[in-house]
Amino acid sequence: MPELPEVEALARLLRPRLVGQRVAALRLFRPLVFRNLLPAQEPEAALLGRQVLDIRRRSKFLLLSFDGGVWLAVHFMLAGNLEPCAPDVRPRTRDYYLLAFSDGSALRYHDLKGMGKTYLTDDLGRVPGLADLGPDALDPELTLAAFLERLKPHRGEIKGVLTRERVVSGIGNAYADEILFVAGLYPFRKAGRLSRQEREGLYAAMRQVLEERVALAVEALAGGAGLHQREGMLVHGRAGEPCPRCGAPISEINVARRPTHFCRHCQPGLLIRN
């Protein structure tokens, strides 16, 4: 699933290309992923001729703002992607919709699993999951003091806390592994048992990892990589490979079908999860 770095990179690449353009057409091939929250209007008519005002990210959502107060909120889930294409391209299997613009460019939404969602709305508060998000992990207003305050009520395993969108938003399974590795924290440590120094180190690692990975994702997407491709991860997805810090094999533990990757030497902790 694309997380904060990939969605942020996509927003940064699309913004200069599309802001100022107008929607020339919306073609719905398979309406399953497209949710119209403007019941009085057909989506094609609601978007036609509207100018793109901004493209930005909120957590793992890509938000396209149009004049007239209309929005598209895209959540890619496990396999969704927005790809550039010709406006008259023939749809492939698993192409769900296409947006064409006044400059002759177009984007099509492709999703092998059909689990993503795109919401057309004039009120982002109506988009499921969006209104309940905590502060963004890279929001300048999420200072160290604010981060520590948000951690206070939570006593569960630190990886689970870090991926809880109500606590801090934008971090998923992959980057939680990376952040905890850089912080040197065992993923199953209880958040309430972390020292002040460890919590401060976690904040610093979160900022470092996400900022570095945004820059790498911008470069990768600009070079033609897909939204779901990640190169150069430190531990995530590298079970059995040598730790980049100490050389010990990277471990994998699966909990609720979600793999956690970490180094037992650099991130020591009890094997019993209690």
What tens digit of pLDDT does each residue of 169-193 get? 999 999 999 999 999 999 999 999 9
Q: Answer for the pair 144, 127: CB distance below 8 angstroms, yes or no.
A: no
Weakly modelled stretches of the chain, pLDDT under 50: 274
- Asked whether residue 35 is domain-assigned, the answer is yes
Question: Count of domains in the chain?
Answer: 2
**Is residue 252 a part of any domain in this protein?**
yes
Residue 271 lies in a domain: no
Report if residue 270 sits inside a domain: no
Final residue before a domain boundary, out of 58, 93, 126: 126
CATH number, domain containing residue 42: 3.20.190.10
Is there a single domain that holds both residue 99 and residue 184? no
Q: Report the catalytic residues.
A: 2-3, 60, 258
Position 131 scores a pLDDT of 87
Q: Is the same domain home to 180 and 230?
A: yes
**Tell me, what CATH number does 164's domain have?**
1.10.8.50
- Predicted local confidence at residue 226, as pLDDT: 87
183 is a domain residue: yes
Residue 55 lies in a domain: yes
Do 15 and 110 share a domain, yes or no? yes
Q: Check residue 271 and give its pLDDT.
A: 56
Provide the residue range defining the domain that includes 26.
4-126
Nearest to 34 by CA among 121, 100, 103: 121
What is the Cα–Cα distance from 193 to 40, expressed in whole angstroms? 52
Cβ neighbors of 152 (< 8 A, separation 6 or more) are none
List Cβ neighbours of 256 (8 Å cut-off, separation of 6 or more): none
Length of the chain: 274
Q: Which residues pair with 51 in a beta bridge?
A: 22
CA distance 237 to 252: 9
- pLDDT of 274: 40
Are 184 and 267 in contact by the 8 Å Cβ rule? The answer is yes
Burial tier of 118 (Cβ tally within 10 Å: 0-12, 13-18, 19+): buried
Say whether pTM exceeds 0.85: yes
Q: Is position 178 within any domain?
A: yes
> Are residues 154 and 74 located together in one domain of the fold?
no
